[in-house]
C-alpha cells in the first residue's frame, strides 16, 4: 500500500522582498558609524551635555574664586562693584534673555519644519547676541577710561577719595584706606576674567549662528534633522544662565555705601 506523503510548500521571499524588508531611509547627514539617526542624535546630545559639564566646572572655579575674595575683601569689592554701570548690566540681561527666547523659538521652528521661521529666529538670536557684545564694548571702554583695568596703570584714587555727588554734596561711597583700595584691583581682575570668558563664549556662539543660518537657508534642518539646532540651543541657554549669575554677583553687591 502506497503511503501518501503530504508536503507543505513554503514560498521563500524573493530578492525584491528581501531588499524591501531591509530598506532603510537614510538622511544625508547620517554618519556611517551610527546604526540609526536616533542613535546619532542621542550621541550628539550626550556629547553636548558632557561639554556643558566641563563648562560648568570651568565657570564654577571662577565663581568660587570670586566668592572667596569677596569674603576676604568685602569693602573693596563693594566699592569696586558700585562703579559698574548697572544700567548697561541690566540692559544686557534683558537683551540676552530675549536672545535666548528667540533661540528657543528657533528650536521649535526646526522641529515643526518651518524653514522661514527658523531662519528668522536665528537672525533675531544673532542680532540680540551682537547687541549684547556692543553694550559690553562700551562698558569695557568706560573701565579703560577710568583706569580700572588691572595692571600698572590701575588708578585707586576714586576709591580713596570718592567723587562728590552734585545733588547731595556728599561723597559717593565711603573712602577706603590705601591698602584696602588696592584690593579693588582683584575685583576688576575677576570682573574682566568672568565677563571676558562669557563674551568669548558669545563670540563663538555668534560664529556658529552664522554657520547654522547658512545651512538653515538650504533647508538642512527642516527635513527631520534638527540635532545641531537642539544642541546649539543648549549651548546658547547655558551662556544665558551664566550671565544670570554674573549680573547679581558683579553688579548688585550692596548698591548703597557701607555704613561705618
Fill in the DSSP letter of residue 150.
Answer: S
Which residues contact residue 95 at a Cβ distance below 8 angstroms, ignoring those fewer than 6 apart?
A: 128, 131, 132, 135
Helix runs in 146-226, H state only? 157-160, 178-182, 184-217
pLDDT score for 33: 52
pLDDT digits (tens, 9 = 90+) for 169-224: 566 667 788 888 889 899 999 999 999 999 999 999 999 999 999 999 988 887 77
Q: In the chain, what are the domain boundaries?
A: 49-251
Short-list 121, 111, 120, 118, CA closest to 225: 111
| Mean pLDDT confidence for 148-174 | 75
Q: Domain 49-251, what fold? A: 1.20.120
Q: Above 90 in pLDDT, residue 27?
A: no
Closest CA to 243 of 195, 211, 209, 210: 195
b/e map of 177-210 (b: 16 or more CB within 10 Å)? eeebbbbbbbbbbbbbebbebbbebbeebbebbe
- Of 68-72, 149-153, 211-215, 255-259, least confident by mean pLDDT is 255-259
Angle (CA) 141-79-201 rounded to 5° is: 45
Burial of 57 (0-12, 13-18, 19+ CB in 10 A): exposed
Give residue 243's region: left, alpha or beta (phi > 0; psi -120 to 50): alpha
Using a 10 angstrom Cβ sphere, with 0-12 exposed, 13-18 middle and 19 or more buried, the burial of residue 51 is middle
Beta carbons of 207 and 199 less than 8 angstroms apart: no
CA dist 57 to 48, 51, 119, 134, 141, Å?
Answer: 14, 10, 33, 28, 30
Q: With bands split at pLDDT 50, 70 and 90, how would you rate the model's confidence at 162?
A: confident
Label residue 56 exposed, middle or buried (CB < 10 Å: 0-12, 13-18, 19+).
middle
Measure the CA–CA gap between 43 and 29, rounded to whole angstroms. Answer: 14
Helix pair 227-251, 86-111: axis angle to 10 deg: 160
pTM for this structure?
Answer: 0.79
Higher pLDDT, 102 or 152: 102
Amino acid at each position: 500500500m502506497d503511503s501518501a506523503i503530504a508536503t507543505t510548500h513554503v514560498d521563500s521571499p524573493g530578492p525584491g522582498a528581501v531588499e524591501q524588508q531591509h530598506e532603510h531611509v537614510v538622511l544625508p547627514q547620517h554618519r556611517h558609524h551610527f546604526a540609526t539617526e536616533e542613535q546619532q542624535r542621542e550621541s550628539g546630545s550626550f556629547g553636548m551635555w558632557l561639554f556643558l559639564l566641563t563648562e560648568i566646572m570651568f565657570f564654577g572655579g571662577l565663581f568660587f574664586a570670586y566668592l572667596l575674595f569677596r569674603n576676604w575683601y568685602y569693602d573693596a569689592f563693594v566699592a569696586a562693584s558700585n562703579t559698574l554701570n548697572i544700567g548697561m548690566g541690566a540692559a544686557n540681561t534683558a537683551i540676552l534673555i530675549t536672545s535666548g527666547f528667540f533661540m528657543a523659538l528657533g528650536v521649535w521652528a526646526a522641529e515643526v519644519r518651518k524653514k522661514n521661521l527658523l531662519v528668522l529666529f536665528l537672525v533675531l538670536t544673532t542680532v540680540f547676541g551682537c547687541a549684547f557684545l556692543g553694550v559690553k564694548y562700551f562698558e569695557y571702554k568706560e573701565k579703560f577710561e577710568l583706569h580700572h583695568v588691572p595692571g600698572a596703570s590701575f588708578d585707586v584714587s576714586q576709591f580713596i577719595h570718592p567723587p562728590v555727588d552734585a545733588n547731595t554734596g556728599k561723597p559717593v561711597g565711603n573712602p577706603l584706606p590705601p591698602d584696602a583700595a588696592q584690593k579693588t584691583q582683584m575685583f576688576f581682575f575677576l570682573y574682566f576674567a568672568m565677563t571676558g570668558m562669557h563674551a568669548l563664549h558669545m563670540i563663538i556662539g555668534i560664529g556658529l549662528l552664522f554657520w547654522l543660518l547658512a545651512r538653515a537657508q538650504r533647508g538642512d534642518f527642516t527635513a527631520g534633522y534638527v540635532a545641531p539646532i537642539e544642541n546649539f540651543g543648549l549651548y546658547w541657554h547655558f551662556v544665558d544662565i551664566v550671565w544670570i549669575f554674573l549680573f547679581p554677583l558683579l553688579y548688585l553687591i550692596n548698591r548703597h555705601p557701607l555704613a561705618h
